[in-house]
Amino acid sequence: MQSFHPPKRTLMGPGPSDVPRRVLQALARPTIGHLDPAFVGMMDEVKIMLRQAFCTDNALTFPISAPGSAGMECCFANLVEPDDEVIICINGVFGGRMKENVERMGGIAHVVEDAWGTPVDPNKVRAAFVQHPKAKILAFVHAETSTGVRSDAKTLCAIAREFGALSLVDAVTSLGGIELQVDAWGIDAIYSGSQKCLSCPPGLSPVSFSKRAAEVIASRTHKVRSWFLDLSLVMAYWQGDGARTYHHTAPVNAMVGLHEGLIMLHEEGLQNAWVRHGLMHEHLKAGLENLGLRFVVEEQYRLPQLNAVQFPASVQDEAKVRRHLLEQHNLEIGAGLGALAGKVWRIGLMGASACEENIEICLSALEASIKQCGQTTAID
Ligand SMILES: *Cc1c(COP(=O)(O)O)cnc(C)c1O
């Protein structure tokens, strides 16, 4: 056995995105104790910077020590009690996972379905509330990474409010990439991930809960079904002012990496980061269309950070093109997921990956690989 040295890749899939050198260097700093006052002080800064990134004053804002899927599970585990009714919007892979979470927590899921590649329809959500007036929560995905669609979070959260329900939002791919206003839009529970538009390594999930959500959690009648994700326990560590108690050993170095990534976001400015993702998307779009690739999603609903495209008819073996991109050009793009598997490519422009240099690499590599694979297919 020898030390592992990963190949140098350009990451333009659905996550992880390219991790800047600054963040990698931060990860390599010495490990200290997770109750060391120096570490605790850094964690307080992480919480402040996460509030800024989420545009919220929520006290209950911190990173879960596990990937985005754990943030999802944390929100459902703490807010859903047995027999609670939850309206779940499904327009791609991740909405389906939300339904699974509700059912595992003993809740009842009422599904609002929209076609893959289209946003959640607010009229259907309204109709679902009329049909299920006791629904306690509305849950939906802001940025559906499986299709590249943005749903109107502001409107959907307002509907939840109108019917006295909490809103629970998946912002794994949206945080840091497109406008997201937790307080102004009235979002009650939200989770994200470190490895998409924040450009940190995978493994952490920033979450935030409104005061209303915190009150609902505090007045639960059943114990939270997950010990690890039970916020009443986790918070003794994250919020125990001056008297933090051991819950689990926080992934110290990963937190230092997130701290650095958040500083970089702060230095750039949140709005500037949103603008950059939009601009880079415009540049990539022009190049992809030149190559004969067609966008799956209607222009007004597209996510700049996740470009789902259909490939030209000359591509008979799409997996072969992706393999060629990886092996010959060190470029990773995403395959289709779920209903779109084998039908589309997903080209990510997340965080540090959303830059001119990556776009040039991507367009020239795609052109060469499509040509190359098309020719060899014709011969063999
Ligand atoms: C990536 C992603 C997740 C899951 O995050 P992991 O870090 O892979 O667990 C959840 N929801 C959406 C929309 C995602 O894009």
User: What pLDDT digit, counting tens, does each position of 177-198 carry?
Assistant: 999 999 999 999 999 999 999 9
CA separation for the pair 350, 197 (Å, rounded):
4
Percent of residues, the chain, with pLDDT higher than 90: 91
Please list the alpha-helical segments (H only) found in the chain: 21-27, 37-54, 68-79, 93-104, 122-131, 153-162, 211-218, 231-238, 252-268, 270-290, 318-329, 356-379
Decide whether any atom of ligand 1 lies within 6 Å of the 91 Cβ: no
- Taken in order of first residue, the domains within the chain and their CATH numbers are 10-14+270-372 (3.90.1150.10), 21-266 (3.40.640.10)
Is there an atom of ligand 1 within 6 Å of 93 CB? no
Between the CA of 145 and the centroid of ligand 1 the distance, in Å, is: 8
**3-state DSSP assignment of residue 50:** helix
Ligand 1 pocket check for 64: Cβ under 6 Å: no
| Rounded distance from Cα 205 to ligand 1 centre (Å) | 9
Specify the residue with its C-alpha closest to ligand 1, atom 5: 68
Nearest-atom index, ligand 1, CA of 15: 1
Pocket test for ligand 1, best of 17, 89, 173 (most atoms within 8 A of CB): 173
**Distance (Å, whole) CA 105 – CA 80:** 6
Q: How many CB atoms lie within 10 A of CB 271?
A: 9
Q: How far apart are CA 328 and CA 316, in angstroms?
A: 19
How far, in Å, from the CA of 68 to the mean position of ligand 1? Answer: 5
Phi first, then psi, for residue 111 (nearest 5°) are -95, 135
Q: Output the pTM of the full model.
A: 0.96
pLDDT of residue 295: 97
Which residues share a beta bridge with 141? 170
Read off the pLDDT of residues 273-332 as tens digits, 9 standing for 90 and up.
Answer: 999 999 999 999 999 999 999 999 999 999 999 999 998 888 989 999 999 999 999 999
